[in-house]
Amino acid sequence: MSIDRKTVDHVARLARLDLSEEERTRMQGEMTAILTHAGKIQELDLDDLEPTSHAIPLRNHMRPDVAGRCLTQEEALANAPKAEDGRFWVPRIVEDSGE
Amino acid sequence: MSTTASEMYETTVGLEIHVELSTNSKMFCACPVDFGGDPNTRVCPVCLGMPGSLPVPNQMAIEYTMKIAAALHCDIARFHEFHRKNYFYPDMPKNYQISQYDHPIGTKGYVEVTGDFGTKRVGINRVHLEEDTGKSTHVGGSGRIADSDHSLVDFNRAGTPLVEIVSEPDITSAEEARAFVTELRAILESLDVSDVRMEEGSMRVDANISTRLTGAPEYGAKVEVKNMNSIRSVGRALEFEEKRQRKALDDGETLVQETRHFDEKTGTTSSLRTKEFAFDYRYFPEPDMVPFEPDQAWIERVRGSLPELPASKRARFAEIYGLSDKEIQTLTTTSATAGWFEEAVAAYGGEAKKISNWILADLYGLLNESGQELSDGKIAPAQLAALVKLVDDGAISGKQAKEVITVMFETGDDPAKVVEERGLKQVSDTGAIEVFVDEVIAENPDAVEKIREGKDGTLGFLVGQVMKKSRGQANPAMVNDLLRSKIN
């Protein structure tokens, strides 16, 4: 199993990573290695096995619907690079292709 | 639209409805769910997406969603789980939304809707649970996103439990869409799981609408319509869009898949001119939460907890109260309204139709002016019953009762008190009325003569004169009888 350059570019774009040429080449190798490793499983006959999303045998874990304490506005905004009127300041939102 | 055009084309509509649940706390954390308040005061590390924080699902939200699924005749999954839907947007702090993907809570349901088109079942594809996003305010330019300078984000709403209900593309007209949303809203309202206020955004409707030649194997280009803030807007937007698409096809244009924005003022839709593309959300099972496997007992308990749903309520109203479909439709719009009506009927003990008439003809007029719901008003059900009884007993006239109800609406006072204070008692004492009747007969010899000649229409004039003298307090039926017997 190998990953082509186009897939690396696509994944980098999805994660909003600005990777250099060298980094892309390195990622291509690493991603191929990871998928090849995972691909080993494909060699087994698993037709009768349910896909497992979680490894722990725990189900229906919930909390009661009780409201509790929140952060103050000051605490909430403490780490924000910029805030205005009690809100997080974010640069102009550009609708993009999100591909 | 010509007849040929409407036969030539068929419209296909599918709706996607988001409903905020009215739980006490958010979906995955203990921040309270509420409207208003200062920005970023109902937030915590979980709903702000801070590293290391862990979400824990709200049991009530899970149960509410199961309840909705049950009320929409869905299969309730014996296995469901949360997924991460990955995309970047500033109002979503984690850069993914916790949602459900291939294992939603409810599937394969339906809603039965009725209208001028008859009765039909609109399929429900799925009912799933997710979290709401925060709210952005765009600053600079016209205040719209496109030409803004920057945006400000408030995360108070982020993490509010949000149920998504997706219909099958079974809807074929704006009228059916309106009927579907009305019925769905009534069902959700009866379940008491959400405020379902479209104006406030606790219920949001998006529509996919396409047009194709009748009988064509493929659907036409799918247009998504957004920003419909009331049930009426849903109807208007889809009516406009249906006509626009048909005209475009008539003119030989090719429709494109796009998102369009409904403008409340102009009643038109316009393209948002965003590029249509296939999102790559890379859904994967949420690793921080384990799946759900509700057992049969839990599912049965939820099904058993359903209240009387609007359809059953309407059937019951028709059967025991003998009201028209239109009256029933209005009286069962919300369960609070229906409950108010039933309480008034019980307190009255007489014909339900009379209570219905007073509500629909008088109270609704007053409520509409003040923008209130029946159950928010100052008049209690038993007070309306008492008022109708006063009319039945002849203590006040119907006309006086209308004056009384207006005062009651303002003050919330008992009808007897209003009658007393305003000196509105209807005079049913023969002696007192007789004095007025004799005076009127003496003062209007010409009119009396005409009546004797058989011109019965003139009697009304004399009745009016007596009522005037009694300052509206005489019992009109008695006045009528006395005049007749004295003249003839």
Both B48 and B134 in a single domain?
A: yes
Indicate which CATH number applies to the domain containing B444.
1.10.10.410
Of B422, B449, B470, which one is at a domain's C-terminal end?
B422
Both B266 and B315 in a single domain?
A: no
CB contact under 8 A, B277 and A97: yes
B262 and chain A in contact, CB less than 8 A: no
Both B125 and B196 in a single domain?
A: yes
Instruction: State the smallest CA–CA distance between residue A52 and chain B in angstroms.
Output: 10
Both B156 and B170 in a single domain?
A: yes
Q: B residues 284-303 near A, CB within 8 Å?
A: 285, 287, 289-294
What digits encode the pLDDT tens for the residues B347-379? 999 899 999 999 999 998 888 887 788 888 899
Instruction: State the smallest CA–CA distance between residue B46 and chain A in angstroms.
Output: 10
* Cα–Cα distance for residue pair A82/A84, rounded to 1 Å: 7
Residues in chain B: 488
Nearest to B117 by CA among B13, B210, B40, B209: B13
Nearest to B203 by CA among B215, B191, B218: B191
Encode chain B (488 residues) as per-residue pLDDT tens digits: 444 556 799 999 999 999 999 999 999 999 999 888 899 999 999 999 999 999 999 999 999 999 999 999 999 999 999 999 998 889 999 999 999 999 999 999 999 999 899 999 999 999 999 999 999 999 987 777 777 889 999 999 999 999 999 999 999 999 999 999 999 999 999 999 999 999 889 999 999 999 999 999 999 999 999 999 999 999 999 999 999 999 999 999 999 999 999 999 999 999 986 655 567 899 999 999 999 999 999 999 999 999 999 999 999 999 999 899 889 988 998 888 999 999 999 999 989 999 999 999 999 888 888 778 888 889 999 999 999 999 998 888 888 899 899 999 999 999 988 888 887 766 667 777 888 888 889 898 888 888 888 887 788 888 888 888 877 777 778 888 888 888 87
A56 and chain B in contact, CB less than 8 A: yes
Both B116 and B169 in a single domain?
A: yes
Chain B residue with the nearest C-alpha to that of A77: B40
A89 and chain B in contact, CB less than 8 A: yes
Instruction: State the smallest CA–CA distance between residue B77 and chain A in angstroms.
Output: 13
Both B330 and B436 in a single domain?
A: no
Say which of B137, B285, B290 has its CB closest to residue A87.
Answer: B137
Question: Which range marks the domain in which residue B314 is found?
Answer: 308-422
- B355 contacts B348 by C-beta, under 8 angstroms: yes
> How are strands ordered across the β-sheet holding B9-20?
B75-76, B106-115, B118-131, B161-167, B9-20, B203-213, B223-228, B258-263, B268-271
What digits encode the pLDDT tens for the residues B276-320? 556 789 999 999 999 999 999 999 999 999 999 999 999 999 999
Inter-residue long-range contacts of B46-55, CB under 8 Å, 24+ positions, other chains counted: B46/B159, B47/B93, B47/B131, B47/B155, B47/B158, B47/B159, B48/A71, B48/A76, B48/B93, B48/B155, B48/B158, B49/B92, B49/B93, B49/B94, B49/B95, B53/B29, B54/B288, B55/B27, B55/B28, B55/B29, B55/B98, B55/B286, B55/B288, B55/B289
Of B302, B320, B348, which one is at a domain's C-terminal end?
B302
State ipTM.
0.89
Looking up tokens 């704006």, which residue turns up?
B174
Both B284 and B334 in a single domain?
A: no
pTM of the model: 0.83
Chain A residue with the nearest C-alpha to that of B25: A67
Number of domains in chain B: 3
Both B247 and B395 in a single domain?
A: no
